[in-house]
Amino acid sequence: MSSEVQDVEHMDIAVDPEDAREYELARMRHSAAHLMAEAVQEIFPDARFGIGPAIDNGFYYDFDLPRPLTPEDLKEIEKLMKKNQKRNEGFERNVVSREEAMEIFKNNPYKLELIQNFPDDEEISTYQQGSFLDLCRGPHVESTRKIGPFKLQSVAGAYWRGDEKRPMLQRIYGTAWDTKDELAAYLHRLEEAAKRDHRRLGRDLDLFSVNEEIGPGLILWHPKGGMIRYLVEQFEQQEQLKRDYDLVYTPHIASEKIYRTSGHLETYHENMYSPMSIEEVDYYLKPMNCPGHIMIYKNQVHSYRELPIRLAELGTVYRYERSGTLHGMLRVRGFTQDDSHIFCTREQVVDEVGGVIDLALHMAEVFGYGYEAYLGTRPEKAIGDEETWNEAIDDLKEALASRGMKYKVDEGEGAFYGPKIDIKWLDALGRAWTGPTIQADFNLPERFDVNYIGEDGNRHRVAMIHRTLLGSMERFVGGLVEHYGGAFPAWLAPIQASIVPITDDQVAFAQEVEARLKDKGIRAQVDDSSGRMQAKIRNAQLQKIPYMLVIGGREAEADSVAVRLRTGEDIGAKTVDEFLELILPVIETKSLGLLEPRALK
């Protein structure tokens, strides 16, 4: 469910029980937003109201208020909501003319703007419960007593209509559920999510930062974060090379000519940065890598015998995001994306998409994610005719069926040049993250005149598949931080072993152990700082280092280390060689645990 949609429209169609539950929850949460607005109006009679939709797991409402809200205000609003709920106020719908609506909301510029933007044939309706009257399509529950247990959560600033040039409103977020147990479980999940927030952990573990002098939405990777990114990229590149991908690199800027041909200036211009003029030609920071890959393919004539050709790039792109939408590493303005473009015949599309699905699910297994799949269809802003789009959609459906993949249809959520498969990662808390995207594109090959020489000696139009596996490195690593709660598997941990000499007498042996571990590729570090042993162990645990190797006089004499895990488990004394025999298979198999290797499919 999109958080940008104000109301949930009723559609008289058969839905499965899961969809029916989502519909009823959305209806109830939208009603809770109106209940909240009623309470706000009682406290602030001069309040002016924006929109109040249901969103995933809850609701919000935007308010223009005479002063900033405080935590105490939220408590008072929630108290009033419960009081009004007990009155069992009904939600009464009334259809009004455009003129009547303009008169009713004449003192509210936000509602007037909405009314003025309605299509001429739009049926305009209002809903009223108690003293609160709102412009609304609905639907709502029958009365306020039908609203389940709820909780107001936070206040945030929100520009009207998401436009930073428009007034800043105060947005109150809340959540509502069918039962108290569901509400309690959801609030507990939020507490767990807060502990895993990648922005806090990124600071505590020294992984990345954002500097206002550099600019918002631009990530500075610190050494530890850089190591994690390097390991992820290296692993992915190796997996691609195994599957006959060719690695390429393209410039960060390109002439406007190519973006006119690609359709980006026509359909994606608002997401691109302003051009820079060079020798009277406008150049743009690239928002996507596909035009460059097309030019690499077109640099020479290709035979059908060469296809498929799979070009892959870790390419940095730049897209304008409003400052209010930026969020740590998850929503940024510059990011490196693991783009690939596969050039193939029409007959090869289904098999190639199936191969990408296989690789995507392998990635999910390695990193310990669950997954769910979606099929995005033609959006409003699209290039190409419907027949071409339908062919591409059919190919994606066939590829999904060939892998036995269940999926949901996301109407209108395809790219502007073709439909797509989205595979969302499900993390340790059951949250969905943006993951692999696979797009079948028969439109850009037309616009760029991309061909191959067929078996008949004639030119034939190539089919093109756009593909990302992990998406942007920034978003993927930020998601990994939250998925693992900062406790990365041993193979990904920036520091894999902290060596802790108990006294200065063991420092020399600790440094010898460090050298032996590094010789085997282990990222080890001696903690020879002043302080007690327990403080050093505690610091290593806070830094979520997988293994702590404590060395006292006895261990130094026996060429051994006392092994502890970051979980607090004490493994006991091991010779250095025994420790290597223990952890090297764990690292090599990319195990999610710290002691046992695993077998990947």
Q: Rounded to 5 degrees, what are φ and ψ at 467? A: -150, 130
Local structure of residue 300 (DSSP, 8 states): S
Catalytic member of 229, 290, 536, 566: 290
Distance of CA 287 to the CA centre of its chain: 18
- Gap between the Cα atoms of 187 and 192, Å rounded: 9
Catalytic residue at 344? no
Catalytic residue at 337? yes
* Residues sharing a CB contact under 8 Å with residue 255, sequence separation 6 or more, in sequence order: 281, 282, 283
Q: 3-state DSSP call for residue 67?
A: coil
Catalytic member of 196, 466, 467, 566: 466
Catalytic member of 111, 319, 378, 483: 319
Catalytic member of 140, 171, 341, 424: 341
Catalytic member of 420, 536, 544, 564: 420
- Gap between the Cα atoms of 588 and 490, Å rounded: 9
Residue 332 bridge partners (DSSP)? none
Catalytic residue at 319? yes
Q: 3-state DSSP call for residue 60?
A: strand
DSSP string covering 129-190:
ETTEEEE------SBGGGS--EEEEEEEEEEGGG-TTSPEEEEEEEEE-SSHHHHHHHHHHH
Distance of CA 207 to the CA centre of its chain: 18
Catalytic residue at 420? yes
Catalytic member of 129, 170, 240, 337: 337
* Residues sharing a CB contact under 8 Å with residue 258, sequence separation 6 or more, in sequence order: 291, 295
- Minimal CA–CA distance to 3: which of 52, 69, 76, 68? 52
Catalytic residue at 136? no
* Residue ranges in 169-263 assigned as alpha helix (H): 180-195, 198-204, 223-242, 256-262
Amino acid 593 reads: G
Establish how many alpha carbons lie within 13 A of residue 476's alpha carbon, considering only the half-sphere containing its beta carbon: 23
* Residue ranges in 331-427 assigned as alpha helix (H): 349-367, 386-402
Catalytic member of 7, 62, 64, 339: 339
Total count of residues recorded for the chain: 601
Q: Which residues are catalytic?
A: 290, 319, 337, 339, 341, 420, 466
